[in-house]
Amino acid sequence: MTNLLSRLCFAASFLLISTLLTAQPSRKIKLTPVSLGFDLPDTYKQRTFIKGLAGFVHKIDQLAGTMVLIDGNNTTVLTRFVRQDKPPVVTTSTSDVIYSAKIDNKFKFNGAYSIASTKIGKDNIYEIILTDVGYAFLPEDYIPYIEICRAATNVASETRRKTYYIRSVKLTTVYTRAFQKATGNSEVGGVVFSVGGEVFNSSDQFKLDYVVSVDLVSLEKLLSLQNCNDLINNEEIARREKAEQARLAALKAEEERKAREQALAEAKAQVEDLKKTLSESIGRTTEMQRQLHEAQDKERAALEQLNTAIRQANEMTAQADIARQNAESREEVILTFKNKDGKVLEIKSLDELSEDNLRALGFDVEILKR
């Protein structure tokens, strides 16, 4: 019951207020007139707008480096020349407002692609805001001139004149809002202003569109700045040298791999031998210790025998030296013979008493017994 009374009181109050408002006389609002724009800034008009490239508004980085064929109003994307290791440089911004104004159907670029093909009718005024939000470009050393030279080798001169290389791309947002002219006693609301004594209003939100503008370099100009023959020859030499270096590096790497494989195999074999030896030695540790003791005993005995032999050898060497010295100190001449002619023969050893030597001395030799 209480809720019902509350609702009835609220309804009565609302009807009373509405009646009072209706009874008040209408108030006139003085609107400040606005000026209309009639042209775009020169810096913006000097850009190249190609409606056929509108499909790249969300991928301007892929448009930079593209080769296009422009034949009248027709634009054809041919191919793209970009170095894989140096893609286009892309920057973004949200504050580079180029142009902001209200325009009508007398605007010089009414319906042009540069303002997103916005077409303004006779009884309309549009508010337009142009802002650069993206930029993609290729610095000089990013452009693959060698690939372009090779591709252009067999291109007809007529086609060359119509072919262009896109060096850079700008992405621009186009915000527009339509205002309608108020007629008679029609109610107005939202944003309201006057132009030339007429009232325009709009309750619409801004509409967003994108346009792209490009920096074009003709293929002929691009080639004229480069000596294609030298570029191709130098690149061919560099490519061959690089291929040779790669081949030698591959051979060296292969040799290194084989060496490492061999080293690994040897290391594995050594590990296996050590494992086997260790496994066997664990089972006969006691026997090996006994054999070690025996070997040490034999080593000590052999050392003693060696020392004894060394002493004996030294003694024998000393005796031999003494005997040699005694033999050298003896008289060398054993016998001296003189024949009938007075010829003398000294015999220093018995071996010299040969039959031939004796006959040479004039002796008559008769062998009685051999």
Query: Is the residue at 309 inside a domain?
Result: yes
* Whether residue 86 is found in the same domain as residue 60: yes
Query: E strands within the chain?
Result: 48-49, 66-71, 74-80, 89-103, 124-137, 163-181, 191-195, 198-202, 207-218, 335-338, 344-347
Contacts of 216 (CB under 8 A, 6+ apart): 48, 68, 164, 165, 166, 167
* Whether residue 86 is found in the same domain as residue 190: yes
Query: Is the residue at 15 inside a domain?
Result: no
Identify the pLDDT of residue 327: 65
Identify the pLDDT of residue 52: 85
Identify the pLDDT of residue 3: 40
* Whether residue 168 is found in the same domain as residue 182: yes
Query: Is the residue at 12 inside a domain?
Result: no
Identify the pLDDT of residue 4: 32
Give, for all 370 residues of the chain, the pLDDT tens digit: 334 334 333 333 433 333 333 334 444 566 778 899 999 999 999 999 998 888 898 899 999 999 999 998 899 999 999 998 999 999 998 778 999 999 999 999 999 999 999 999 988 999 999 999 999 999 988 999 888 888 888 888 889 899 999 999 999 999 999 999 888 776 778 889 988 888 999 989 999 999 999 999 999 888 887 777 776 666 665 576 677 678 778 878 888 888 888 888 888 888 888 888 787 777 677 777 777 788 888 888 888 888 888 888 888 888 888 877 776 655 455 566 666 666 666 666 666 667 777 677 666 666 665 5
Query: Is the residue at 14 inside a domain?
Result: no
Q: In total, how many domains does the chain have?
A: 4
* Whether residue 86 is found in the same domain as residue 106: yes
Closest by CA to 344, choosing from 361, 321, 322, 330, is 361
Identify the pLDDT of residue 196: 85
Identify the pLDDT of residue 151: 86
* Whether residue 247 is found in the same domain as residue 350: no
Which residue range is the domain that position 357 belongs to? 331-361
* Whether residue 199 is found in the same domain as residue 253: no
DSSP string, 278-296: HHHHHHTHHHHHHHHHHHH
